[in-house]
Each structure stands twice: as C-alpha cells, then as structure tokens.
C-alpha cells in the first residue's frame, strides 16, 4: 500500500466532524483539532485490491484523500457501527418491534458512496437502510425514534426500520419488497435525464435480489434510454440463510448486466467504494447504466430473528472481522499517517457511545403517533372515477 508522508504532528489541525448536524462537537473533539496537517494536505492511498471490470476500463487504484476526510470517515463509520449495535440491544429489550435488518460490516459501502456524490444524486435501497439514511444527513434521534415507532422518527414513527426516507437529501427509501427498489431507481434516473440535471441515481440491492427478473427488465429499459442509473449490488454473500452459490448460477454480479458494463469493488474498503462510485457517476452521465458489485459482509444475521450462525461458521465471521473490517482498515491508515493516537480514537468511540445513548434517551421521550394517524399516509385521495357499493355498480367521479 502506497502511503504518502504528511506534515509533522506540530502542524496538525484536524477536526473529527460528526456525520450529521445531530452530533454536536464536544470538548474532546476540539482536542483532536490539535493534530497534524491542514485540510489542503493530500494523502495518496492505494485501494486494497485492484478493481475487476466487465466491458469497461478500471478506475485507478490510487485515491487521494485528506487527513480530515480520513478522520471523518473513522468517526462516521464508528457511529454507524455503534448505532446498529444499540439497535440490536433495543430490539432484544422489545423496544423495537417487527422487522429490523442491521448493516454492521457493510458501513464502507454507504460512506464511500456518499463521499463520491452529492445530495442531488439519488439513492434508493432495500430494508437494510439505517446507515444509508444517516449517511444522507439523517439524525440519530430520527433513526432511534423511527425504530421505536415514535413521532420524532423520520417517517413519524409509522414506517419503522425498513421505511426510512429523506427526500430533500435525495434518499428515496427504505423498501421491503426484495428488488422492487431497482425499477423505482431507474424511474428516478429517468426523471433526472428528462430534466437534464446531470445527477445520477444509485439503486442498491442484495446478492439475493440480483436474481430477480424485474432487475433485468429495468436494466434493459435503462440501457435503451441511456439513463444515469447505477445499480449497486451489495454482495454480502447471503440472501437470508442462502449462500450466493446456492442461489446464483453465476455469482459474478458485476457481469450479470451482460451488455451493461460492471465493476467488482472491495466493499470493505471505503476508498475503493468512493473511487468506484466517482467513476460510475462519470460513466453513467456519459453512457448510461453501469453495475457496481460491492464485495461486503454482514456481521449480524439477516434480521433480528436470525442468529446468523446456522448457515455459516463462526470462523468465517471472525475471519472477516480480523482481515477485512472497514473500520479497522481506517484505524490503521490513521495510525500509519500519525493523525491520531490509539487513545484519541478510543476516546472518540466512547464519545460516540454517549451520543448514541443520548439520542436513544431522547427518542424514548417522543410519544407514539396519535391513533388518528392510523388513517393518514395510507392512500392519496386521487381524482378520477371510483365505483362503490356492494356490487360496485355505483359510480362517483371526482374532477380536478
């Protein structure tokens, strides 16, 4: 790995920025400002492994970053990790009910993508959506409130774990039907192309969803119309308890678009993800759709009802933690560039834990939705002709 030398520790000036405005800067963080390299210092990092391409060039393995970005990525990733661990505990305490799918292990995908794009680009994903929402600027309070079904949640406590949205930041959910978000994402890309706004849509789906027919139908139309659609297959190697090799004749998901180019990316390396997403955005604006296969891993079971250890070995899970963990990779980079000490990063993690606990306490104060809310946001009352009555023979028309 090629790592550049940076300025001496006496000139360090780093501020570990919180992931969202919800996280306040604290005295401890101000102490971290005191470290090396101003923002203009450029660090050159090489991605963990080369990219593998299908019908396109490969992006360079050399990625530029700054001390500030490295430290911010550490903080943001550690926040995501802590948030998901806390959600696990809240679920076990029965404060979160229903479906709940955690993202720990996959954080580098959400953050690397975010680092390459703007909030005018759109993201749409499946039900494993907590960290994507945080990456788009959502707050811990909105997340924990939504998870616990409280009014302060991002969907007013009516959506729950699988239905997070932040339309003003280009986040279109949060979808429970496997694969359904991909055609919707292509629709968003259609709107972007139609309005000539030079933005793209990232539609994320899993290795299980990759075998669905609707994905290929949407891809065909997207390719015919050269839509700026980037299909991101988060290959965590399992669809519920089914290993990829049992479900897919070809698990080379980056090649599955046939006539659509694709890239295989180390999804545990946030800089590889960033580089690939930058490359894909440029490609999509010029040429139309592209597939990115992110090689990643989920530490938790599929959802909270799955212990996650019956269809894979504990050694496999601990092996990934030891060899490929996205947070540990950044921690090592920070040390090798002398940007923070072990203690400073540990203290940052402690501080994050406190922020998460405070958000949970605040979320618990938020009331559950009013009973009358049961009947809102279900259907939009539309215009048109409606038939009603026992035999549906009576007709009523509502004109605009």
Ligand X SMILES: Cc1ncc(C[n+]2csc(CCOP(=O)(O)OP(=O)(O)O)c2C)c(N)n1
Interface positions, 197-216, toward ligand X (CB under 6 A): 205-209
Of 6-14, 27-35, 156-164, 229-237: span binding Mg ion (CB under 5 A):
229-237
Q: Can you tell me which of 67, 170, 239, 308 binds ligand X, judged by CB under 6 A?
A: 239
Asked whether 129 and 121 are in contact (CB, 8 A), the reply is no
φ and ψ of 160, to 5 deg: 80, -170
Task: Between 307 and 382, name the residue whose CB sits nearer to ligand X.
Answer: 307
* Residue 177 interacting with ligand X (CB under 6 A): yes
Indicate which of ligand X, Mg ion, none lies near residue 302 (CB less than 5 to 8 Å, by partner kind). Answer: ligand X
CA 283/CA 270 separation, integer angstroms: 20
- Give buried/exposed letters for 91-124 (b at 16+ CB in 10 A, else e): beeebbeeebbbbbbbbbbbbbbbbbbeeebbbb
The residue of the chain with the least Cβ separation from Mg ion equals: 206
Residue list 127-186, contact with Mg ion (CB under 5 A): none
Applying CB under 6 A, among 141, 178, 270, 280 the residue interacting with ligand X is 178
For residue 110, the minimal CB distance to ligand X (Å) is 12
Shortest spacing between CB 118 and ligand X, in angstroms: 25
Nearer to Mg ion, 121 or 266 (CB): 266
Of the pair 176, 251, the CB lying nearest ligand X is at 176
**Which element (helix H / strand E) includes 201?**
strand 201-206
The secondary structure element, H or E, covering residue 65 is strand 62-65
Between 206 and 261, name the residue whose CB sits nearer to ligand X: 206
- Return the closest-CA partner of residue 209 out of 184, 180, 183: 180
Min dist. Cβ of residue 228 to ligand X (A): 23
Assigned token pair, 135: 């990456």
Considering only residues 300-319, where is the footprint of ligand X by CB under 6 A?
302
Find the helix packing angle between 342-365 and 67-92, rounded to 10°.
Answer: 50
Q: Which of 41, 211, 236, 275 binds Mg ion (CB under 5 A)?
A: 236
Residue 66, Cβ density class (10 Å: 0-12 exposed, 13-18 middle, ≥19 buried): middle
**Any idea what the Cα angle at residue 269 is, between residues 336 and 297, rounded to 5°?**
130
CA 280 to chain centre: 16
DSSP-assigned states of every residue in 202-250: EEEEETTGGG-HHHHHHHHHHHHTT--EEEEEEE-SEETTEEHHHH-S-
Q: How many residues bind Mg ion (CB under 5 A)?
A: 4
| 293: contact with Mg ion by CB under 5 A | no
The reply to whether 267 sits near ligand X by the rule CB under 6 A is: no
Q: Binding to Mg ion by residue 47, rule CB under 5 A?
A: no
| Residue 173: Cβ-neighbour burial (10 angstroms; 0-12, 13-18, 19+) | buried
- Give the largest CA-CA distance in the chain: 82
For residues 21, 25, 26, 31, the Cα torsion angle rounded to the nearest 10 degrees is: 160
Q: Which does 114 bind (CB under 5 to 8 A by kind): ligand X, Mg ion, none?
A: none
Q: Nearest approach, Cβ of 269 to Mg ion (angstroms)?
A: 19
Q: Is the CB of 183 or the CB of 228 nearer to ligand X? A: 183
The residues near 91 (Cβ < 8 Å, ≥ 6 apart) are 100, 304
129 sits near ligand X (criterion: CB under 6 A): no
User: Nearest approach, Cβ of 203 to Mg ion (angstroms)?
Assistant: 15
The encoded tokens of residue 393 equal 């023979």
Task: State in angstroms the smallest separation of the CB of 155 from Mg ion.
Answer: 24
207 binds Mg ion (CB under 5 A): yes
User: Taking CB within 5 to 8 Å according to partner kind, which of Mg ion, ligand X, none is near residue 33?
Assistant: none
The listed partner (ligand X, Mg ion, none) that binds 279, CB under 5 to 8 Å by sort, is none
Give yes or no for residue 105 binding Mg ion (CB under 5 A).
no
Residue nearest to ligand X (CB): 206
Size of the residue set binding ligand X (CB under 6 A)? 14
Contacted by 240, from Mg ion, ligand X, none: CB < 5 to 8 Å by type: ligand X
357-371 CB burial, b ≥16 within 10 A, e <16: eebbebbeebeebee
| 206: contact with Mg ion by CB under 5 A | yes
The nearest distance, CB 206 to ligand X, in angstroms, is 2
Closest CB 242 distance from ligand X, rounded Å: 8
Under the rule (CB under 6 A), what is the footprint of ligand X?
128, 176-178, 205-209, 236, 238-240, 302
């Amino acid at each position: 790995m090629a790592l550049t030398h940076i300025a001496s520790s006496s000139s360090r000036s780093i501020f570990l920025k919180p992931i969202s405005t919800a996280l306040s800067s604290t005295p401890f963080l101000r102490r971290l400002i005191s470290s090396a390299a101003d923002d203009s210092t450029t660090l050159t990092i090489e991605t963990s492994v080369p990219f593998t391409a299908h019908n396109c060039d490969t992006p360079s393995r050399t990625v530029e970053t700054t001390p500030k970005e490295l430290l911010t990525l550490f903080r943001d990733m550690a926040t995501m990790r802590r948030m998901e661990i806390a959600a696990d505990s809240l679920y076990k305490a029965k404060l979160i009910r229903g479906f709940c799918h955690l993202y720990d292990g996959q954080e580098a995908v959400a953050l690397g993508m975010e680092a390459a794009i703007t909030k005018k680009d759109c993201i749409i994903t499946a039900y494993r959506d907590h960290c994507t929402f945080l990456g788009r600027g959502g707050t811990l309070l909105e997340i924990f409130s939504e998870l616990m079904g409280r009014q302060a949640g991002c969907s007013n406590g009516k959506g729950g774990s699988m239905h997070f949205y932040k339309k003003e930041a280009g986040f279109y959910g949060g979808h429970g039907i496997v694969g359904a978000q991909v055609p919707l994402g292509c629709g968003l890309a259609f709107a972007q192309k139609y309005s000539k706004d030079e933005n793209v849509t990232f539609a994320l789906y899993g290795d299980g969803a990759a075998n669905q027919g609707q994905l290929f139908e949407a891809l065909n139309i997207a390719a015919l119309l050269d839509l700026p659609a980037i299909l991101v297959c988060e290959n965590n190697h399992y669809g519920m308890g089914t290993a990829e090799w049992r479900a897919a004749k070809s698990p080379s998901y980056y090649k599955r678009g046939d006539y659509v180019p694709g890239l295989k990316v180390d999804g545990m390396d946030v800089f590889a993800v960033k580089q690939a997403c930058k490359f894909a955005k440029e490609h999509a604006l010029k040429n139309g759709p592209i597939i990115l296969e992110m090689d990643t891993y989920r530490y938790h079971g599929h959802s909270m009802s799955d212990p996650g250890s019956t269809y894979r070995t504990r050694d496999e899970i601990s092996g990934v933690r030891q060899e490929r963990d996205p947070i540990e990779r950044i921690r090592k980079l920070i040390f090798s560039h002398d940007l923070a000490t072990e203690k400073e990063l540990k203290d940052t993690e402690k501080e994050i834990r406190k922020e998460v606990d405070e958000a949970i306490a605040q979320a618990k104060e938020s009331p559950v939705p009013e009973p009358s809310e049961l009947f809102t946001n279900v259907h939009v009352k539309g215009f048109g002709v409606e038939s009603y009555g026992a035999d549906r023979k009576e007709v009523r028309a509502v004109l605009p």
